[in-house]
Amino acid sequence: MDIVISGLLLGGSYALIAMGLNLQYGVARIMNLANGELLVLGALAAFWVFTTTGMSPLVTLFAVAILGFAGSWAVYRVFLVPLVRRSANQGQLEVDSILATFGMSFFLVGVMVSIHSEYFTYSFLASPVALLGTTVALNRLVAFCFAVLIGGGLYLWLNRTRAGLAVRAVAVSPEAAGLVGINVDRVSALAFAVGGMVTGVAGVLVSTFITLDASVGVIFTMKALIIVIMGGVGDIRGSIIAALILGMVESAVATLIDPGLTLASAYLIFLLILLFRPQGLFGRRAA
Amino acid sequence: MDTKLVVMNEMLFSLTNWEDQMKRRNFLALAGVLTAGLMSTSALAADPIKFGVVSHLTGPLAGGEAVTHIPNIELWVQQVNDRGGLSVGGEKRPIEIVTYDDKTNPAEHIKAVQRLATQDKVDFMLSPYGTGFNLAAAPIYAKYNYPLIAVSSITDEIEELTERFPNMFFTLGSTSGFVDGVVTTLTKLREQGVIGNKVAMVNVADAFGIELADTARPKFVEAGFEIVYDKSYPLGTPDLSPVVKGAKAASPDAFVAWSYPPDTFALAEQAIIEDLDVGAYYSAVATAFPAFSKKFGGKIEGVLGAGGVNPDTPAMQEYRNAHEEVTGKVPDYWASATYYAQLQILEQAIEGVGEIDQAAVIDYIKANEFDTVIGPVKFDKHNNSDRYWSVGQWRDGQFRAVADTGMGDSADPVAKEGWN
């Protein structure tokens, strides 16, 4: 039971980390290498507000959500739309967006170092909760609940609303979506902005139980990328399930075999999925 | 139109925010150092003495560097320049610092050191953060004959290294001395009847953690301890609850973690959540950080960790007050003071020699005793200062040394009594 619960909680935080990138990469087709930095920016906001004013990160979360959305929207419109316009094909856009967002990641690291160069660490809801015969940290549980809310919300939005339908259409084929009257630019900007919002919120939540610093973003980008590719690019369900699998496996390996092998086991699973289902768990096979 | 407005608002927001922070606290230590340097340069006619330092301003070790090294450089530059500078050749010359960021990348680090030596032609250099970086940079320091007073560096190869690089000095002790401190502390607690024989030991799976765990294993057994849990975890593990649960299941009397900053914080948080009931709890790097006590408050009373100082000496009190006053930050309770001592040693040696002569300064450092914030420092024939605190314990908001080598002013360790 220990393994299942802590695996679920860990998987939940992985899902938080990956869902934003999935929207950005899957729909807006921007391989956002500054994704991790955006997450750390959310964490820094939560830390900074908490240590200076004592305000709960759960309040900061809403401000970060709004700023994350607006900031990502602006970044997409100003910096990324020109890349989308001039790229002849998907491959070209991927290369261009990787370079552009790589640059942004350095910029963001610099900004964060100048704001707070030490570790972002504080105590919030760090109390034990008994859950089905095991003890978990309240802050992890809260983050998991938010992961469920956000994941569920995104799923419903994508599958039950008209806007979600348009987003999915763009994810499948921007050209075809444009032909049936969908404003592809607008939908892409929306998906990119929602992705940024989710990532910023994830940063706030993760900062309540993981000690971050200005330079740690790249680790989260890598993790998110692995999960997105495992789950299938452009599919929210895939990311959530891949994140849960990863969390479960890491927690099982750490408890039953050796904590030293968690990283190895995560990469083993990644490797197996790439070998036997290269399009990801829920991905579409390239035509 | 409105997208442009949004962007402008964003920019305006970040700009005002930025200014606010610059006013409120001197966050950007580098800027502080530079301004201090510039201001005094313009105030004084004499040519500045250039000190080079390659810092990890970004990258995995940036958080530690920002706590332990950068504020001390800022403090020292301000103090010396307020006095008018260093007395060299009959005149006072101010200090100027040249800083490069190596992104915590050894290859970048070496390039930057080379650049300091050949392009900037700095007069002296300040030692880098981290054992690996000190060792990696040692050959270049030796090539250009700069003194290298390593601080944030712990190794058992001191004799071999200083034989090969006679310009290199060590101040923070050896791996064995470091581990001996922990074994002695646990032995004392066992003699007091506070703990039994069972030790749970974990380590971060990188060079630092592995070397310490390998050194500690036989030493614990030799001292009559039984290691009931012995696991490693990868650097950056997001969830350490399986580790703490595993250790708890082995019902140890003492818990020892050879850990790095992010995991030092995470392990303590998990220990509190799991109510890991041990008479002695030790974690390595960052236990001595003010942020550690700020995060956990009174819950960490009695927690043991790497470092510790004697906060009662007048020199230490004066240093801690000045540090807080100038940089706005509380110094850590471990290598901060020793890093400042490095600066004092360089200062005294340069003034003692009376001219900018690196070889003479190296000889001067070898031959003389220095009066520093950590007490008198004298290097032995292996260029090692065998006087350092190795284990500290949080007691009433201070991280007090409870084990040392050659210091002789440590307090007796006490039991960790619960996590509240």
Task: Report CB contact under 8 Å: B63, A213.
Answer: yes
Q: What is the pLDDT of residue A90?
A: 78
pLDDT one-digit tens code per residue, B25-35: 443 444 444 44
pLDDT band at residue B143, thresholds of 50, 70 and 90?
very high
Instruction: For residue A113, list chain B residues with Cβ-Cβ distance below 8 A.
Output: 57-58, 62
In this structure, is residue A255 part of a structural domain?
no
Q: Is residue A187 part of a domain?
A: yes
The domain of A93 spans 17-215
- Reported as a pLDDT band with limits 50, 70 and 90, residue B17 is very low
Q: Is A175 on the interface with B (CB under 8 A)?
A: no
Residue B338 to residue B72: CA distance in whole angstroms: 10
Other Cβ atoms closer than 10 A to B2: 6
Q: Which residues contact B80 (CB under 8 A, 6 or more apart)?
A: B86, B94, B95, B347
Mutation target for A interface from B61, B204, B235, B241: give the one with most A CBs within 10 A: B241
Q: How far is B300 from chain A (nearest CA, A)?
A: 13
Q: Which of A244-253, B22-31, B205-214, B241-250 has the lowest mean pLDDT?
A: B22-31
Closest partner CB to B239 (pick from A78, A122, A251): A251
Residues B249-270 have pLDDT tens digits of: 999 999 999 998 889 999 999 9
Number of domains forming the structure of chain A:
1
Which chain B residue has the Cα nearest residue A115? B27
A114-128, B6-20, B39-53: segment of lowest average pLDDT: B6-20
A124 touches chain B (CB under 8 A): no
The DSSP code for B154 is -
Report, as an integer, the average pLDDT of B218-229: 92
Chain A residues with CB-CB distance to B266 below 8 A? 209-211
Burial A135-174 (b: 16+ CB within 10 A, else e): bbbbbbbbbbebbeebbeebeeebeeeeebebbbbbbeeb
Tens of pLDDT, residue by residue over A230-280, are: 988 888 888 999 999 999 999 899 888 888 888 889 899 999 988 988 888
* A8-33 residue pLDDT tens: 989 999 999 999 999 898 888 888 99
Mean residue pLDDT of chain B comes to: 86
Contacts with A254 from chain B: Cβ below 8 Å: 233, 239, 242-243, 246
The answer to the question of residue A123 being in a domain is yes
Look at A127 and B273 and tell me if their CB atoms are within 8 Å. Answer: yes
Tell me, what's the pLDDT at B122?
A: 94
Residue of B nearest to A223 (CA): B238
Q: Is A222 within the bounds of a domain?
A: no
Specify the pLDDT at position B129.
Answer: 92
Residue B43 has pLDDT above 60, yes or no: no
A206-237 pLDDT per residue, tens? 999 999 999 889 889 999 999 999 988 888 88
Strands B280-283 and B304-306: parallel
A210 and chain B in contact, CB less than 8 A:
yes
Residue B102: phi and psi, rounded to 5, are: -105, 5
Mean pLDDT of A115-138: 86
What's the gap in Å between the CA of A284 and the closest CA on chain B?
Answer: 31
d(CA A151, CA A257): 31
For residue B254, the distance in angstroms to the closest alpha carbon of chain A comes to 20
Query: pLDDT tens across A132-145, in order?
Result: 888 888 999 999 99
pLDDT tens digits, one per residue of B94-120? 999 999 999 999 999 999 999 999 999
Nearest Cα of chain A lies from the Cα of B61 at a distance, in angstroms, of 9
SS3 of chain B: helix, strand, coil, percent, to 5: 50, 20, 35
Cα separation, A3 vs A16, whole angstroms: 20
User: A5-14, B39-48, B153-162, B207-216: which range is least confident on average?
Assistant: B39-48
Q: Scanning every residue of chain A, which has its alpha carbon at the shortest distance from the alpha carbon of B242?
A: A255
Answer whether residue B3 shows pLDDT above 50: no
Residue A235 falls within a domain, yes or no?
A: no
Q: What is the pLDDT of residue A286?
A: 56
The alpha-carbon radius of gyration of chain A (Å, integer) is 18
Q: How confident is the model at residue A74 (pLDDT cuts 50, 70, 90)?
A: very high
Domain contains A4: no
- Candidates B104, B239, B283, B287: best to mutate against A (most CBs of A within 10 A) is B239
Query: Strand B168-170 relative to strand B148-150: parallel, antiparallel, unpaired?
Result: parallel
Closest partner CB to A119 (pick from B63, B238, B245): B63
CB A30 within 8 A of CB A237: no
Q: Which residues in A lie closer than 8 A to residue B269 (C-beta atoms)?
A: 123, 126, 137, 209
CB contact under 8 A, A137 and B269: yes
Q: Which two tokens stand for residue A24?
A: 């950005």
Whether pLDDT at B56 is above 70:
yes
Q: How many CB atoms lie within 10 A of CB A242?
A: 29
Backbone φ and ψ for A130, nearest 5 degrees, come out as -85, 125
CB A141 within 8 A of CB A151: no
Say what the pLDDT of residue A287 is.
45
Instruction: Classify residue A153: in a domain, yes or no.
Output: yes
Determine, for residues A210 and B266 on separate chains, whether the beta-carbon distance falls below 8 Å: yes
A103 — contact with chain B (CB < 8 Å)?
no
pLDDT of B21 > 60? The answer is no
* Closest by CA position to B76, among listed B358, B325, B340: B340
- For residue B23, the model assigns a pLDDT of 41
Contacts for B173 with CB less than 8 Å, ≥ 6 apart: B154, B386, B388, B390, B405
Sheet holding B280-283, edge to edge: B226-233, B198-204, B254-258, B280-283, B304-306, B388-395, B398-405
Structure tokens at A18: 């990956």
Chain Cα centroid distance, residue B309:
12
